[in-house]
């Protein structure tokens, strides 16, 4: 079991590093949108290549670990959870990239201080969900994982507020297309947080063997180009 335990721990550590990266990506993507920082947006887009490379490497390593002769039934459960978390982390990186690309497209638009403040808060709330999820998985902390839906509720509520503000702004025909883009940005952030909640589901499964549904299935939605 020693070889498997060491590899499981190494896989977890690598996955946590990827999780930390996608948390940083969304923070910088939202900041680039609010501050009109094209350089930061470009850095987020470039960072996704590293997340994708780590995703592919981890997928191969997890599958290889499943073939180790000393893996017990609980070990297979943990490896299955690792596979699921790896997928969610990669998707979260895609959502952050979409926000960064929206930042580049919106650079010429007039500023709206109220909307900027809402989007910044939305990003902070979503990264809080993600950071909590990554830490819970690292510790296999089922109790912390079960708190994730409550954190995500705040994201959902603020997303409604952002939508209402954008509906107001869209009454100006010259800002209709931009407002539509920003509605999609808010949706990307919301889905990012949903994936983090789904990491909580995998955490509970890894820790207890219990299959739970904390939120709707985040893998069912398209993320668009990334």
CATH of the domain at 101: 1.20.58.220
**Is 136 among the domain residues?**
yes
pLDDT tens digits for 1-25?
Answer: 558 888 999 999 999 999 999 999 9
Predicted TM-score (pTM) of this structure: 0.90
Who's near 132: CB < 8 A, 6+ residues apart? 144, 147, 148, 151, 196
Structural domains counted in the chain = 1
**Is 11 among the domain residues?**
yes
Is residue 198 within 8 A of residue 217, CB to CB? The reply is yes
Indicate the SS3 state at residue 73: helix
pLDDT tens digits for 107-149?
Answer: 677 677 888 889 999 999 999 999 999 999 999 999 999 999 9
Indicate the SS3 state at residue 142: helix
**Is 40 among the domain residues?**
yes
For the chain, where are the E strands, in sequence order? none
Measured CA to CA, the distance from residue 139 to residue 72 in angstroms comes to 20
Mean pLDDT score of the chain, rounded to an integer?
Answer: 89
Who's near 128: CB < 8 A, 6+ residues apart? 151
pLDDT tens digits for 176-185?
Answer: 777 788 888 9
Domain limits for position 94: 2-217
The rounded radius of gyration (Å) of the Cα atoms in the chain is: 18
Predicted local confidence at residue 216, as pLDDT: 47
**Is 119 among the domain residues?**
yes
Who's near 169: CB < 8 A, 6+ residues apart? 112, 115, 175, 178, 179
């Amino acid at each position: 079991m020693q070889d498997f335990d060491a590899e499981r721990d190494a896989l977890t550590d690598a996955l946590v590093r990827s999780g930390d990266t996608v948390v940083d990506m969304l923070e910088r993507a939202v900041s680039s949108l609010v501050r009109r920082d094209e350089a930061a947006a470009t850095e987020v887009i470039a960072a996704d290549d590293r997340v994708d490379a780590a995703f592919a490497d981890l997928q191969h390593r997890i599958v290889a670990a499943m073939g180790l002769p000393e893996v017990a039934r609980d070990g297979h459960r943990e490896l299955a959870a690792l596979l699921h978390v790896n997928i969610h982390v990669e998707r979260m990186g895609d959502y952050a990239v979409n926000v960064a690309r929206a930042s580049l497209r919106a650079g010429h638009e007039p500023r709206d201080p109220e909307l900027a403040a809402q989007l910044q808060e939305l990003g902070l709330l979503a990264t809080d969900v993600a950071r909590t999820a990554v830490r819970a998985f690292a510790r296999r902390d089922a109790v912390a994982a079960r708190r994730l839906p409550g954190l995500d509720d705040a994201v959902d509520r603020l997303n409604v507020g952002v939508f209402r503000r954008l509906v107001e702004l869209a009454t100006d025909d010259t800002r209709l297309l931009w407002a539509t883009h920003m509605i999609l940005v808010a949706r990307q952030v919301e889905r990012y947080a949903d994936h983090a909640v789904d990491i909580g589901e995998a955490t509970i499964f890894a820790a207890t063997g219990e299959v739970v549904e904390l939120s709707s299935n985040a893998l069912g939605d398209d993320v668009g180009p990334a």
